[in-house]
């Protein structure tokens, strides 16, 4: 799996390129100076999600959840662990389904709903609770699928 080449800043949304071979953990936003790769899920609303899709070249993993959803709450630590495991390979985003319009635009019918996007396009989606290991397998198998 390739390293991220460009990401949206989690703080200001500005697109930032990351040079090949550069330490992703040390990369900072050229606009606001925030760390670009946190190794943790980033909470987004509709506007922030759009900026991530616009500016991220590579993988984005989106978890659509709700605070009242038991399986969503159970999956949260697994999603965080996967975000740490894939820190330089994918951007992990969390979106509260009760506060955003994106889930309806994506056709979400049940949560948790996980979307894998590459260069702004949905390449796979999955509904239901997944462990961090199962999430990692799903991401890797979706990347290998034609």
User: In 1-146, where does DSSP find H-type helix?
Assistant: 46-55, 70-85, 102-105, 132-144
In the three-class reduction of DSSP (H, G, I as helix; E, B as strand; rest coil), residue 61 is classed as strand
Distance CA 136, CA 146 (A): 18
Distance CA 124, CA 64 (A): 14
Catalytic pick among 9, 29, 69, 100: 69
Which of 94, 100, 98 minimizes the C-alpha distance to 61?
Answer: 94
Distance CA 131, CA 146 (A): 25
| Active-site annotation holds for 12 | no
Looking at the DSSP assignment, which residues form a beta bridge with residue 42? 93
Catalytic pick among 9, 12, 29, 72: 72
Distance CA 94, CA 72 (A): 11
| Active-site annotation holds for 29 | no
Residues 20, 3 contacting (CB under 8 angstroms): yes
Q: Supply the residues annotated as catalytic.
A: 69, 72
């Amino acid at each position: 799996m390739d390293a991220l080449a460009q990401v949206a800043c989690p703080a200001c949304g500005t697109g930032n390129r990351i040079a090949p071979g550069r330490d992703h953990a040390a990369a900072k936003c050229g606009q606001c100076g925030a760390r670009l790769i946190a190794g943790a899920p980033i909470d987004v609303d509709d506007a922030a999600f759009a900026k991530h899709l616009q500016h991220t070249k590579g993988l984005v993993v989106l978890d659509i959840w709700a605070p009242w959803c038991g399986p969503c709450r159970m999956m949260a630590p697994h999603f965080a662990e996967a975000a740490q495991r894939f820190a330089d390979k994918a951007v992990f985003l969390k979106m509260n389904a009760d506060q955003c319009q994106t889930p309806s635009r994506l056709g979400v019918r049940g949560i948790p709903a996980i979307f894998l996007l590459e260069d702004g396009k949905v390449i796979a989606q999955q509904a239901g609770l997944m462990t961090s290991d199962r999430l990692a397998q799903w991401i890797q198998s979706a990347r290998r699928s034609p």
